[in-house]
Amino acid sequence: MINKRKIGNTNIEVSELGFGCAPLGGWPVAVSDQDANLSLETAWIKGIRYFDTAPLYGSGMSEKRLGNFLQKQKREDFVISTKVGRLIVDTKKSKAVEKFIGSPQDKDSVFNFTYDGAMQSIEDSLKRLGLDKIDILYLHDPDNHPDHFEDAKKGAVKAMIQLRDEGVVKAIGCGMNQNEMLIEFAKEGCFDCFLLAGRYTLIDQTSLDELIPVCQKNNISLVLGGVFNSGILIDPSPNTYFDYSKLDNNWNKNLTESLVRKPKNFETAEYWLQKAYKLRDACNKFSLELKQAAIQFPYDNSIVSSCLLGMTSSTQVNENIELYNKKIDKEFWEYLKENNLIRN
C-alpha cells in the first residue's frame, strides 16, 4: 500500500513513492524497451501512481516509453509530470548518447528558457507522451548558466502560468539540486511545488535553513529526488558518488565544474563520507538498511508530497517498495537526533 499526499493548494494527489523516469532514457545504464515496460508495470501493480519524466531523459526516449505504457491506463488513475527548459533538436552527432546510453543518435537537447521555447517544449512532450494534458510542469535546471534565471522569469515561467490558466497543466513547479535559486523562485508567488534533489535527505537537510520555511509560508509542496544522494546513502565508500561526483580527492573541484551546485567551504569528500559512515553504523545498530532509512526519512515532514526513485528493473521496484513499507521504530530517529546525525 502506498499512501497519497496533496500538491500545494491544488486537488492533485500523488503517491508518496513516485517513479523517476530518467533511467528509462538510458541513465546511467542502457535499459531495453522490455525492461522499461516491465519496471513500469511492476510499479503500477504495487501502487505507484506518480511518474516524472523530462525531454532531457534520453532526448525524448523516456517520454515515449512512459507514454506507451500509460496509454493502457485510465487517465484519471495516474499523475504525470514533465519539464520545460530544453528543446529536443535534430543533430548529426549527439552528445546526449554519452550520458543517456541507448538514446537516439540523431537527437540532442539544447537549453531554451524563452516563452516560445517553453510552449514548443510542452507541445513536443504531449506528442511523445500521447496525452493532451499534463498534471505538473516543472522548470528544469535554470541554474546551469548565469542568464537562465532571468531568461526563465521573463519567458518560460510566463508560459507555464498561461498553460496552467488554460488547463493544459494543473500545477507548475521548478526542479533543481540547490536551495538558493528555489528560494528566489518561491518569492515569485506562482509555484505549486518544487522538485528538490539532494537537499532534504538523511545526510543533507540544508533546505531546513531557508527553503522549507519559505515553502511552508507559501504552501509550496516538495517533491524530492536524489534520496540516496547519488549513491552515498546506499553503500558509502570513496568509490561512490555524492551529487553526481565521485567522492575522491577531486570531488570538490568536479562538483564545482559540473554546475550542479556550489559546495560550501566546509564540504569535502571526507566530510560527507564520515557522516555517511556514522549513519550506516547507526542503521547497523538498529538492524536496518541504510537505504531503508534514506527512503523513509523525508515523510515525517508534511511539506514533502512524494519521493521520486529512479528504477531500472522490476527487482529494484519491488525492493524499494518493500523498504518503503517496512516499519522503523521511533527510537531509531530519536537516536539520530540525539547524536546529531539528523537535524531536529
Three-state SS for 308?
A: strand
Q: How many CA atoms lie within 13 A of 340 on its CB side?
A: 0
Specify whether 77 is catalytic. Answer: no
Q: Which of 46, 50, 64, 83 is catalytic?
A: 83
Q: Which of 50, 57, 138, 200 is catalytic?
A: 57
Q: Which positions ≥6 away from 131 have C-beta within 8 Å?
A: 67, 70, 75, 80
Q: Look at the alpha carbons of 141, 59, 7, 4 in this order and tell me if their dihedral is positive or negative.
A: negative
Q: Which of 52, 135, 143, 151 is catalytic?
A: 52
Specify whether 300 is catalytic. Answer: no
Q: Which positions ≥6 away from 79 have C-beta within 8 Å?
A: 12, 13, 14, 15, 49, 50, 51, 135, 136
Specify whether 57 is catalytic. Answer: yes
Find cell 534520453 and name the residue.
58
DSSP one-letter string for 12-31: -EEESEEEE-GGGGTSSS--
Q: What residues act catalytically? A: 52, 57, 83
